[in-house]
């Protein structure tokens, strides 16, 4: 399994030969190493409706024909924007969907979710992905929550947690999340995109080593982790 950070909370995963794209924010992102036309996707995961997570979802879904797993409200919006109805899969927290490489489950997230016009964007969420005999958790935009203990109970090879503060948990909150999740490895996200969410990822990694049992991995945009 190959995980590439495309900046902010945008990720490209290669799982058993399938291209999986998470929260496509590329063309307008100041840290993305590629543009929307440069990425491929057979499966796309969209955590919530904020612009910095959904900006390029429609164009990429139309170009690639990707199946998009997201919440129910965003799936309806995608269909209204011209994405094939049977490719826009609406989910809700606690639900899962079988894909060709394994399974994707939609978890809760403590955040907000609205489209650019201010309309309701459904429940925000995160994703548990199972494939290639591995299990990973993308927390996406959230605060720490106690159900992370249940998410981590079956075992996690990797967790991806936000550390930017202000809009999500910060470094201190992420340590509590990592303790609850108990992953083997952990990646930070949703930081250094803009000055209000600037963080020292090196200092965060040292704190993870000191206070948790997880191995922190810090990537630059375009960097790759192989599991």
What average pLDDT does the chain have?
98
Mean pLDDT over residues 183-211, rounded? 98
pLDDT at 172: 98
Residues 9, 47: contact at Cβ < 8 Å? yes
Number of domains composing the chain: 1
pLDDT at 187: 98
pLDDT at 191: 98
Mean pLDDT over residues 204-214, rounded? 98
CATH number of the domain where residue 38 is located: 3.60.15.10
pLDDT at 93: 97
**Per residue in 95-148, pLDDT tens?**
999 999 999 999 999 999 999 999 999 999 999 999 999 999 999 999 999 999
Can you tell me the distance from the alpha carbon of 69 to that of 106, in angstroms, rounded to the nearest whole number?
A: 9
Residues 169, 142: contact at Cβ < 8 Å? yes
pLDDT at 106: 98
Phi, then psi, of 205 in degrees rounded to 5 = -60, -40
Task: Print the domain residue range for 87.
Answer: 2-226
Can you tell me the distance from the alpha carbon of 89 to that of 25, in angstroms, rounded to the nearest whole number?
A: 20
Give residue 154's Cα distance to chain centre: 20
pLDDT at 200: 98
């Amino acid at each position: 399994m190959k995980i590439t950070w495309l900046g902010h909370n945008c990720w490209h995963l290669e799982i058993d030969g399938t291209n999986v794209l998470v929260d496509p924010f590329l063309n307008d992102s100041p840290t993305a190493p590629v543009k929307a036309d440069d990425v491929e996707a057979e499966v796309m995961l969209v955590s919530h409706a904020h612009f910095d997570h959904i900006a390029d979802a429609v164009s990429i879904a139309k170009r690639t024909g990707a199946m998009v797993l997201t919440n129910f409200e965003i799936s309806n919006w995608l269909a209204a924007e011209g994405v094939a109805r049977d490719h826009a899969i609406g989910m809700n927290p606690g639900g899962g969907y079988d894909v060709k490489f394994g399974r994707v489950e939609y978890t809760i997230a403590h955040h907000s979710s609205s489209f650019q016009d201010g309309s309701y964007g459904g429940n925000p969420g995160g994703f548990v992905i199972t494939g290639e005999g591995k299990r990973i958790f993308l927390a996406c935009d959230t605060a720490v929550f106690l159900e992370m203990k249940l998410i981590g109970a079956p075992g996690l090879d990797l967790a991806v947690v936000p550390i930017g503060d202000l809009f999500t948990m910060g470094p201190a909150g992420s340590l509590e999340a990592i303790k609850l999740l108990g992953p083997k490895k952990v990646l930070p996200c949703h930081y250094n995109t803009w000055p209000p969410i600037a963080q020292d990822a090196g200092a965060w990694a040292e704190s993870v080593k000191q206070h948790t049992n997880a191995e922190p991995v810090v990537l630059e945009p375009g960097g790759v982790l192989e599991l």
